Amino acid sequence: MLYLILVESGLELIPSLISNEIIIKKSIKKFGNIGKILDISYHRRAMYKLENYYKRGRPDIIHNFMIDTQSSILNHWGLLRTFIHTYQDAIFEVNPLMRPPKDYLRFKGLMFELLTQNVLKTPLEKTIIKNTFYDEKYNFEENQQKISKDKKDYFKPILFARSILEKRKKIKSDGPPFDFLDINHFINNNELILMRRMKMNLRKLISYLNTKYIIKFTSKGNLISHLKIFKEYKLEDDIIAIVGGFQSGYFSNSIKSISGKEISIFPIGLESNIVVNRILINYENFIIENLI
């Protein structure tokens, strides 16, 4: 299982310190609620007054992150959980069934709802989960007998994920959060929770996940090939991968103080979406090499 956390992300409402700036008022007048989300593309001149402004106001980075992760093969297999950590140390968990809109303005509209209500939800009957790890009506074991070998192999990761869920259901423990593997964790009053704020900060989340292995991706880390990221791990290992969600700068001291391995996959800094895609692809290959 891979737990992927985008840390110190620039997702927040307009801070009161700059709320009366002319450029802010124009943005809100033009875009409505969407304009109330801090965005350096529109608010740069006002943001210079903010501490660490270069790390803030980048909801587009989160948008790219969610498009890449939520549509990934790894997510369809049921072997990925994603979390958004913000500059203000808030944590948002993402339902594996969440499919963010491709349109950026629509996405920002959802983020405004999330920031003001702490939750995104939809009627359960509108949810489409066919032929994924979460489709309880689809019997992958039975259908393996009816399909060609090449397709059969690609059911193995889903069967592996289901075996993990069944094993963990039998274990009574406070952590790691086995219910993250069960889609019922995101169902409440016949509604499907797509995203919600967790009542914990980053340190508590990492403690709650209770994994042995933590990898922090930073340009200041030990340089290794992206092809070797997961070479030393076993299939049953749970791994936390931490990637910066800001446009420039480095991890804050609070992130640096989190124990774990720091690695770099390229001699110079890369954009977060490039790093995330290398993580996803190489973890998918890691699963395939060990199962198929």
Contact yes or no for 184/246 (Cβ under 8 A): no
pLDDT at residue 147, as a whole number: 59
The predicted structure's pLDDT at residue 196 = 95
Residue in 235, 215, 211, 202 with CA at minimum distance from that of residue 279: 215
- Which fold is adopted by the domain 2-12+57-291? Alpha/beta knot (3.40.1280)
Q: Is 195:94 a contact under the CB 8 Å cutoff?
A: yes
Compute the distance between CA of residue 100 and CA of residue 102 in angstroms, rounded to an integer.
6
For residue 111, the SS3 value is helix
**pLDDT of res. 170:** 61
pTM, two decimals, is: 0.90
Q: For 89-102, what is each residue's pLDDT tens digit? A: 999 999 998 999 99
Higher confidence at residue 130 or residue 181?
Answer: 181
DSSP 15: P
Percentage of residues in the chain having pLDDT higher than 90 = 69
Cβ burial 48-78 (10 Å sphere, 16+ → b, else e): eebeebebbbbbbbbbbbbbbbbebbbbbbb
**Does the pLDDT of residue 143 top 80, yes or no?**
no
Q: Where are the domains of the chain?
A: 2-12+57-291
pLDDT at 223: 96
pLDDT of residue 149: 60
Which of 240, 190, 238 has the alpha carbon at shortest distance from 216? 240
Confidence of residue 24 (pLDDT cuts 50, 70, 90): very high
User: Contact, 287 vs 74, CB < 8 A?
Assistant: yes
Q: pLDDT (tens digit, 9 = 90+) per residue, 115-136?
A: 999 999 988 776 655 555 666 5
| Residue ranges in the chain assigned as alpha helix (H) | 22-31, 40-47, 59-70, 73-77, 104-117, 140-143, 149-153, 156-169, 202-209, 253-256, 272-291
Look up tokens 């790093």; give the residue.
Answer: 275
Q: Are 191 and 183 in contact (CB under 8 A)?
A: no
Find where tokens 């990492």 sit: 206
User: pLDDT tens digit string along 253-270?
Assistant: 999 999 999 999 999 989
At residue 138's C-alpha, the angle toward residues 137 and 141, to 5°, is 130
Residue 284's alpha-carbon distances to 239, 257, 289, 292, in angstroms, are 13, 29, 9, 12
**In this structure, how many other beta carbons lie within 10 angstroms of the beta carbon of residue 250?**
15
